[in-house]
Amino acid sequence: MNSIGYNDYIRILPELVLTFFGILVMLIDPLLGRGSRKGLGILSLTGSFLAMAAGFYQINFHGPAWFGMVQVDSFSIFFHILIPCISAICILASLEYLDQQNIHSGEYYGLILFGTAGMVLMTSAVELVLIFIALEISSISTYILAGYRRSSAAGTESSIKYFLLGSFATAFFLYGVAMIFGATGSTSIPEIYKALNGATSGALVYIAVALMLIGLGFKVAFAPFHVWTPDVYEGAPAPVVALMSTGPKAAAFAVLLRVLFATAVPNDWIWLIWIAAALSMTLGNFGALIQNNVKRMLAYSSIAHAGYILVAFAAGREIGMAAAIFYTASYAAMNVGAFAVVSHFGGTGERYIDIEDYAGLGKRSPLLAFTLTIFLLSLIGIPLTGGFFAKYYVFNAALHSNLVWLTIIGVVNSAVAAYYYLRLIVMMYMREATVDAPPERVSPSMALALVLAAIGTIYLGVLPGYVLDSAHHGAQALKAGPFSKTVQPANNANAAPVQTLK
């Protein structure tokens, strides 16, 4: 009889830590009177850091758990460390933002923690039913977080649009899961692999892959499923946008990688991805050119970046997967940073949000201007920043797979993108200020968030070796295929930890 042992709990440790702290926040919240919830913010920050530590601890505990529901391998550990890191920086940025906007709500932090638990679970789940539930946890908490600016009409619009379109997209994913169950008789990724490997796939498998691509395509906002992005990003609170443009996206890309590369579905989806990549890059970058609102501009830029990641998917093979994994990390660092600046600079009610408002920021607030410049340069892909290596590995992988045209489209797009990022930098340093009011002082927590994000961006640009190695191990773990479901639960219940893949 299989039983649940110590290892089963260790293999979902980050999720347990995050859920525990989420519940703790919810229990303490009613005991506090009215007023700031900064203490709860610091508590949830602790939770995120502990979850990250739990991710590191899992390095020695590879293997499946909970009767083949989740699997800890180099791939999931990479995201177990990355995603709590993202939410920690978002919480740091929120500490000041919530007081600034007069939002005193403990649920805000609870939702971030639960949402993060969902995202983390998505990356280690190897059972489509569990992936679906985790996806819903991460989505529903972001729908609610998007609606936190209730005083503004744009905030409500953002939340409702995100909710309706998001639920619609999740239904597509669920339909895809049902189809693949019909085709293979299982929803477990190892079982699907066994059923499809070497066999000729019927129409059901193709329909299933297409439906799951639509569902996940909405979550990562690649074209043509990107239309919601600018409106939702514009209305949602800036620190929440920092989270939802990186965390759920990284998790959804992880699911996409697992579904496409670990289930032995036929390779014909490549041309779909090819088209989606070209479309996302082009529509994203050209859409960003004409935006005047910085949040909308960054929203279009996030569509374009989803396109670059898809180039790596189209390249396939181990280097393609590693490039995609590395790209999610480096995109997370720079984008979280950029939105942290936007959230501080916006001020009460997010008033200063247009590109013109950033004029003269270089003189008015050197720290904000300097860190934003780093993030923007990284988004362009200038050497010495994380964005450079991310793009380099993606295009390198694409050329290895002879995707010359896609690479050309990507490089041309990067050049176009430089225009709108540089426009903001020029505005900050070369123009005189048009707004009289000096920006509010940067609080220590916000400064810490900015510095952490900037260090992350520079670190990935100067010493990408360690993270890139981890990404490669992750890609190998995916490539190596899932553990066989029949063997694992009995052996691992009390057995010694499985050695790391090396």
Partner 1 sequence: MLHQVLFIVFGAICVAGAINLVAQRHPINSALSLVVVMGSLALIYLLLGAEFVAAVQVIVYAGAIMVLFVFVIMLLNAGAEERTQGSRIAVLIGGPGVAVLTGVIVWTVMRNSQQFGGVLIGSMVEQGQDNTHGIANLLFKDFLLPFEVTSVLILIAIMGAVVLAARKESV
Looking at beta carbons only, is 12 or 468 nearer to partner 1? 12
Q: How far is the CB of 283 from partner 1 (least distance, A)?
A: 31
- Report the residue from 24, 28, 53, 133 that binds partner 1 according to the rule CB under 8 A: 133
Task: State whether residue 103 is helix, strand or coil.
Answer: coil
Contact status: 111 vs partner 1 (CB under 8 A): yes
**CA angle 20–128–279, rounded 5-degree value:** 105
Contact status: 122 vs partner 1 (CB under 8 A): no
- What length is written for the chain? 502
Residue spans of alpha helices (H) in 30-73: 38-57
Contact status: 493 vs partner 1 (CB under 8 A): no
Residue 364 to residue 62: CA distance in whole angstroms: 50
Q: How far is the CB of 128 from partner 1 (least distance, A)?
A: 10
Count of residues of this chain found to bind partner 1 when the rule CB under 8 A is applied = 38
The token pair that represents 53 in the structure block: 């530590």
What count of Cα atoms within 13 Å lies in the side-chain half-sphere of residue 110? 14
| Range 154-162, long-range pairs (CB < 8 A, 24+ positions) | 154/234, 154/235, 155/235, 155/236, 155/237, 156/235, 157/231, 157/235, 158/231, 158/232, 158/233, 158/234, 158/235, 158/236, 159/235, 159/236, 161/228, 161/231, 161/232, 162/228, 162/232, 162/236
- Report the residue from 44, 141, 285, 371 that binds partner 1 according to the rule CB under 8 A: 141
- Torsion, Cα 387 388 392 395, to 10 degrees, reads 50
Contact status: 147 vs partner 1 (CB under 8 A): yes
Contact status: 103 vs partner 1 (CB under 8 A): yes
- Report the residue from 90, 121, 334, 452 that binds partner 1 according to the rule CB under 8 A: 121
- Report the residue from 24, 144, 210, 493 that binds partner 1 according to the rule CB under 8 A: 144
Looking at beta carbons only, is 114 or 331 nearer to partner 1? 114
Of 205, 122, 120, which is closest to residue 170 (Cα–Cα)?
122
Contact status: 191 vs partner 1 (CB under 8 A): no
Q: How far is the CB of 201 from partner 1 (least distance, A)?
A: 21
Backbone angles phi, psi at 187, to 5 degrees: -115, 5
Residue 411 to residue 416: CA distance in whole angstroms: 9
Tell me which H or E stretch contains 70. strand 70-72
Q: Considering only residues 12-51, where is the footprint of partner 1 by CB under 8 A? A: 12, 19, 26, 34
Residue 119 to residue 243: CA distance in whole angstroms: 11
Q: How far is the CB of 53 from partner 1 (least distance, A)?
A: 21
Stretch that binds partner 1, among 144-152, 214-222, 318-326, 399-407 (CB under 8 A): 144-152
Stretch that binds partner 1, among 130-138, 171-179, 223-231, 274-282 (CB under 8 A): 130-138
- Report the residue from 61, 79, 143, 327 that binds partner 1 according to the rule CB under 8 A: 143
Q: How far is the CB of 152 from partner 1 (least distance, A)?
A: 12
Stretch that binds partner 1, among 115-123, 257-265, 282-290, 390-398 (CB under 8 A): 115-123
Looking at beta carbons only, is 130 or 281 nearer to partner 1? 130
Question: How many helices (H) and strands (E) in the chain?
Answer: 22, 2
Which residues are 71's β-sheet partners? 64
- Report the residue from 88, 90, 112, 134 that binds partner 1 according to the rule CB under 8 A: 134
Tell me which H or E stretch contains 63. strand 63-65
Binding mask 151-170 toward partner 1 (x if CB under 8 A, else -) reads x-------x-----------
Instruction: State the CB neighbour count (10 A cutoff) for residue 103.
Output: 17
Looking at beta carbons only, is 8 or 357 nearer to partner 1? 8
Stretch that binds partner 1, among 67-75, 201-209, 235-243, 459-467 (CB under 8 A): 67-75
Contact 389, 465 (CB under 8 A): no
Of 23, 50, 84, which is closest to residue 243 (Cα–Cα)?
84
Stretch that binds partner 1, among 102-110, 225-233, 258-266, 431-439 (CB under 8 A): 102-110
Looking at beta carbons only, is 140 or 336 nearer to partner 1? 140
Which residues lie near partner 1 (CB under 8 A)?
Answer: 2, 4, 12, 19, 26, 34, 66-70, 103-105, 107, 110-111, 114-115, 117-118, 121, 127, 129-130, 133-134, 136-137, 140-141, 143-144, 147-148, 150-151, 159
